[in-house]
Chains A and B, each alone.
Chain A
Amino acid sequence: MSLVQSVSRRNFIVGSGATVAGLSLGFHVPFLASASAQEAGANLPPEINAWVVVKPDGTIVVRIARSEMGQGTLTGLAQLVVEELEGDWSKVTTEYPPPGENLKRDRVWGSYSTGGSRGIRDSHDYVRKGGAAARHMLVAAAAEQWGVPAGDCAAANSVITHGPSGRTLRFGEVAEAAGRQTPPAEVTLKDPKDWKIAGKPLPRLDTVEKLTGKQVYGADLKLPGMLNAAIKACPVFGGTLVSFDAAAIEKMPGVKKVVKVDERSVAVVADTWWRAKAALDALPIAWDEGPNKNLSSADISAMLAEGLEAQEAFIGNSQGDAKAELARVQAAGGKVITATYAFPYQNHATMEPMNATARWTEDRCEVWVPTQNGEASLAAAAEAAGLPVGQCEVYKIHLGGGFGRRGNFQDYVRQSVSIAKQMPGIPVKLLWTREEDMLHGAYHPTTQAKLTGALDADGNLTALHLRISGQSILAAVRPQGMQGGMDPVVFQGLTASLPEGHLAYTVPNLLIDHAMRNPPVPPGFWRGVNLNQNAIYVECFIDELAHAAGTEPLAFRRKLMANHPKHLAVLEAAANGIGWDTPPAPGRHRGLGQIMGFGSYVAAAAEVSVEKGALKIHRIVAATDPGHVVNPAQVERQVEGSFVYGLSACLYGECTLAGGRMEQENFDTYEVLRMAEMPDVETIMLPSGGFWGGVGEPTIAVAAPAVLNALFAATGKRYRTMPLKNHELA
Chain B
Amino acid sequence: MVQLTVNGQTHDIEAEPDMPLLWVLREQIGLTGTKFGCGIALCGACTVHIDGVATRSCVMPLSAIGAEQKIVTIEGLSPDGSHPVQKAWLALDVPQCGYCQTGMIMAVASLLETNPTPSDDDIDAEITNICRCGTYNRVRAAIHMAADGKAG
Contact residues of A with B, CB < 8 Å? Answer: 2-5, 69-72, 203-204, 206-217, 219-220, 222, 228, 253, 272-275, 278, 349-353, 398-403, 431, 433-435, 633, 637, 640-645, 648, 666-668, 672-676, 678, 680-681
Given contacts A69-B97, A637-B135, 13 further A-B contacts (CB under 8 A): A3-B80, A4-B81, A208-B90, A213-B33, A213-B102, A215-B98, A219-B35, A220-B32, A641-B133, A641-B135, A644-B136, A668-B40, A673-B136
Cβ contacts A to B, 18 pairs, < 8 Å: A210-B95, A211-B102, A213-B31, A213-B33, A216-B32, A272-B23, A349-B132, A350-B97, A350-B132, A351-B37, A351-B43, A351-B130, A353-B37, A400-B97, A402-B97, A435-B39, A648-B132, A668-B40
Contact check, B90 vs A207: say whether CB atoms are below 8 A apart.
yes
Do B37 and A676 touch across chains, with their CB atoms under 8 A apart?
A: no
Whether a CB of chain A sits under 8 angstroms from the CB of B68 is no
Distance to closest chain B CB from A7 (angstroms): 8
B59 interfacial by beta-carbon distance below 8 Å? no
Partner of B99, one of A3, A400, A633: A400
Are the C-beta atoms of A2 and B81 separated by less than 8 Å? Answer: yes
**B149 surroundings in chain A (CB, below 8 A):** none
Cα A399 to Cα B133 with chains together (Å):
11
Asked whether, in the complex, the Cβ of B124 is within 8 Å of the Cβ of A213, the reply is no
User: A641-B135, A666-B40, A675-B139 are known contacts. Are A213 and B97 too (CB-CB below 8 A)?
Assistant: no
CA distance A275 to B75 in the complex (A): 24
Most buried by A among B81, B128, B132, B138: B132
User: Is the CB–CB distance between B131 and A4 below 8 Å?
Assistant: no
Q: Decide if B35 touches A71 in the complex (CB within 8 Å).
A: no
Q: Which of B69-102 contact A (CB under 8 A)?
A: 73-75, 79-82, 86, 89-90, 93-102
Closest to A272 in B: B27
In the bound complex, CA of A398 to CA of B138 (Å)? 21
Chain B 132-152 interface residues, beta-carbon cutoff 8 Å to A: 132-140
The 5 closest A-B pairs by CB, nearest first: A213-B33, A3-B81, A641-B134, A644-B134, A70-B97
Give the complex CA separation of A209 and B93 in angstroms: 12
Whole-angstrom distance between the Cβ of A319 and the nearest chain B Cβ: 37
Are A212 and B132 within 8 A (Cβ)? Answer: no
Interface of B is mostly: loop
CB within 8 A of A643: which of B39, B73, B134? B134
Complex contacts, A217 vs chain B, CB 8 Å = 35, 99
Judged by a CB distance under 8 angstroms, whether B16 is at the interface is: yes
Q: Which residues of B contact A431 (CB under 8 A)?
A: 36
Chain A CB within 8 A of B6 CB: no
CB distance from A431 to the nearest CB of B (A): 8
Which residues of the other chain, A, contact B131 by a CB distance below 8 angstroms? 351, 644
Tell me, in angstroms, the Cα distance from A209 to B102 when the chains sit together.
10
Which residues on B are within 8 Å of A, measured CB to CB? 16, 18-20, 23, 26-28, 30-40, 42-43, 45, 73-75, 79-82, 86, 89-90, 93-102, 105, 123-125, 127-140
A640 touches B137 (CB 8 A): yes
State A209–B99 Cα separation when bound (angstroms): 11
Asked if B95 contacts A645 (CB within 8 A), the reply is: no
Choose from B19, B45, B79 the contact partner of A274 (Cβ within 8 Å).
B19
Interface centre among A3, A275, A681 (most CB of B within 10 A): A3
Complexed CA–CA distance, A272 and B36 (Å):
14
A213–B131 CA distance with the chains assembled, in angstroms:
16
User: Which residue of B82, B93, B130, B137 is within 8 Å of A672 (Cβ)?
Assistant: B130
Most chain B CB within 10 A, of A434, A668, A680, is at: A434
How far, in whole Å, are A228 and B27 apart by their CA atoms in the complex? 10
- Asked whether B101 lies within 8 Å of A210 as measured between CB atoms, the reply is yes
Nearest to A399 among chain B residues (CB) is B97
- B95 neighbours in A (Cβ, 8 Å): 70, 204, 207, 210-211
Interchain nearest-CB distance for B141 vs A (Å): 11
The residue that A212 contacts in the complex, of B33, B38, B40, B97, with Cβ under 8 A, is B33
| In the bound complex, CA of A220 to CA of B30 (Å) | 9
CB of A351 within 8 A of CB of B97, answer yes
**Chain B residues with Cβ under 8 A from A401's Cβ?**
97, 99, 132-133
Residue of A72, A217, A403, A642 with most partner-chain B CB within 10 A: A217
Bound-state CA distance A170–B74 (Å) is: 39
Chain A contacts for B98, CB-based, 8 A: 70, 206-207, 209-210, 215, 398, 400
Contacts of A399 in B (CB 8 A): 97
CA distance A71 to B96 in the complex (A): 6
Assess whether B96 is in contact with A641, with CB atoms less than 8 Å apart. yes
**Which residues on the B side are within 8 Å of A219 (C-beta)?**
32, 35-36
CB distance from A379 to the nearest CB of B (A): 24
State in angstroms the CA–CA spacing of A667 and B56 once bound together: 15
A71 to B135, CA, bound (A): 11
Query: Closest residue to B19 on the A side, CB-wise?
Result: A274
